[in-house]
Structure 1
Amino acid sequence: MNKIDFQKRLIPYGVFSLENIYKSFPDFSYKQISRWQKDGFLIKIKQGFYAFADQKIDDYFLFLIANKIYEPSYISLEKALKYYGLIPEEIFQITSVSTKKTNTFNNPIGSFSYRHIKESLFWGYHFISNSNQKVLIADAEKAILDYIYLHSELKTENDFKELRINNNSFNENINLDKLNKYLSKFKNKKLNKRLEVFLKTIQND
C-alpha cells in the first residue's frame, strides 16, 4: 500500500473512519495506521477516526470533524454564535449539541465539546457544504435558544450584557418570527421569560 493511492482514495472524506479505509482497501493492515501516525502522514482524531496531516485546517474542516466523531450532533452554542458574527470573542473550542451524553474530545487539531440535548429539541439546523462534504450547523435562531436553554444561569439583563451580542449582526441574521416560532417548540415557560429579558437587553443596548 503506497501513500499516494491511499490519500487519493480517502481524501474526499476529509475525516475518515476505519470502515471507510477497509471499504476502499479490504486487505489494509491496521499496523500501517500506526506507522503512518509515527511518520507524520496521519493524525488520529479519535479512536477509529483519522485525517491527513497536511489537511488544510479551517472552520469548515473543524465542523466536519465535530459532526463525524460524535453522531448525531450539530454545531451550535458559542461556535455557531461566532460563525454568525453574533459574539466578538474568538471561540477556539468547537461546540455542538447532541442527543448523546455531554462529552469532550481533545486531539492534535483541537477541542470538541458536546452538550446533551433531548431528542425533542434536536432540530433547527441545516447543512452547509464545501466540496464533497456537508456539515450540520444550527440556524442562528436555534443557536441562540440552545445557548440560553443550556445556560440556565443567564437570567438578568446584566447576565446577557456579558455576552456582548453584536446588534448589527443580530438584526442581519435573526428573524424574530422564526425565533419565536422556535421558542414555542421548546414548551418551556422559564425559557420564554429568559428570552424576553435577552431581547430587552438587545433593544436597550
Structure 2
Amino acid sequence: MKINPLVKFGNVPVQTGTIAACYDYLLSPSEKIRALEKEGQLIRLKRGLYVVSEEVSRKPVNACLCANHIYGPSYVSQQWALRWYGLIPEQVYTMTSVTTKHSRKFENSLGRFTYEQVKPEYFAIGIDSVEENGVSFLIASREKALCDLILHDTYLPHQSVKGLWQYLEEDIRFDMDELPTFNVNIIEACAKFGRKENILNNLVKILKR
C-alpha cells in the first residue's frame, strides 16, 4: 500500500511549495494541491499555507500552532489564552494573537484569527512555549494575556483600582482567586513598555495587596 506523502508533514503547517515538491512528477502540482484541499486532505489556512487534515496525519490540528504560522512573529493571547488557562468562563470564538507587525485578520475553516500590533520591546515580555500533542506553540503567560487584553480592550473602566477590580470581576468574570499567584514582575514590565501604564500599574497594586 502506497503511503500518502502528506503524512510526513504531521500537523505542522506547511507552505504550498513544500507540498508541491511531493508531486513534482505531475504536470501541475498546483492542481493536485487544489484537489487535495477539495478532498479534505489539506486545510487551507491562508494563501500559500496549509495544514494536513487529522484524517490523513492521524494527529489533531492545533489551532494555536496554526495561529503562530499564519502571521508572525506572533503568540496567542487575550481572551483565547485566558480561557485556555481556565481564568475566564466564557467560550471564545476568535483566536487573538499579538504581533510586532501591522494588525491583521484571517478567516478559514478552523475559525477567525486576529492579530494586534505592539512594540517589539513589549512583545518580548512573558511569552511561553507550550507543548501539546507533540507540537510546541507560543502563547502569552497568564500575566501577559491579561495585560494584552487590557491594552487592546476598547472598553475599560474608570482608571482607578476599584474600577479595574470591577472590570476583572464583573465584566470579564476573571477568576480573582488566581491573582495572588501571578508574577507581578511581568505586569510591571508590561506597564513600563506598553500603553495604558496607569491601568497596568493599578493591576500591580491589586496584586500587591
Please classify the TM superposition score into its range, dividing by the shorter chain length: 0.7 to 0.9
The residue correspondences of 1:48-127 to structure 2 (distance < 5 A) are 48-54=48-54, 61-123=62-124, 124-127=126-129
Aligned-partner residue type, residue 176 of structure 1: V
Contact 1:154-1:194 at 8 Å conserved across structures: no
In the aligned structure 2, how far is the partner of 1:127 from the partner of 1:81?
Answer: 15
Paired position in structure 2 for 1:41: 41
How far residue 203 of structure 1 moved from its aligned partner, in angstroms, is 9.3
Are 2:187 and 1:146 aligned?
no
| Other-structure match for 1:194 | 199
| Inter-partner Cα distance in structure 2 for 1:202 and 1:126 | 21
**With structure 2 as the length reference, what TM-score do the two structures score?**
0.79
Assess if the C-alpha contact under 8 Å between 1:80 and 1:137 holds in 2: yes
CA distance in 2, matches of 1:57, 1:131: 8
| Residue 57 to residue 75, structure 1, CA distance change in 2 (3 Å) | farther
CA distance in 2 between partners of 1:3 and 1:103 (Å):
40
* Structure 1 residue matching 2:62: 3-state secondary structure: helix
Deviations 1:102-135 (A, max 9, x none): 1111111111111111222111202112355321
For the residues of structure 1 that align with 2:59 and 2:150, how far apart are their CA atoms?
29
Give the distance between the partners of 2:190 and 2:9, measured in 1 at CA.
41
Change (3 A) 1:80 1:198: same
Aligned to 2:15: 17
**Structure 1 residues 25 and 185: alpha-carbon distance in aligned structure 2, compared to 1, 3 A threshold:** farther
How many angstroms apart in 2 are the aligned matches of 1:171 and 1:132?
Answer: 32
| TM-score, structure 1 normalization | 0.81
Partner of 1:162: 171
Q: Supply the AA of the counterpart residue of 1:166.
A: D
User: Does residue 185 of the first structure (1) align with residue 192 of the second (2)?
Assistant: yes
Aligned equivalents of 1:26, 1:132: Cα separation in 2: 29
Residue segments in structure 1 that go unaligned for 5+ positions in a row: none
Q: Which runs of 5+ in 2 are unaligned?
A: none
CA contact 2:37–2:43 (8 Å) conserved in 1:
yes
1:57 deviates by: 8.6
Q: Secondary structure at the match of 2:150?
A: helix
Residue identity over aligned pairs, in percent, reads 29
CA deviation after TM superposition for structure 1 residue 196, in Å: 4.3
Matches of 1:57 and 1:89, distance apart in 2: 27
Q: Which shifted more, 118-127 or 71-80? A: 118-127
- Would you say how many aligned residue pairs link Structure 1 and Structure 2? 197
Using the alignment, how far apart are the partners of 2:180 and 2:111 within structure 1? 31
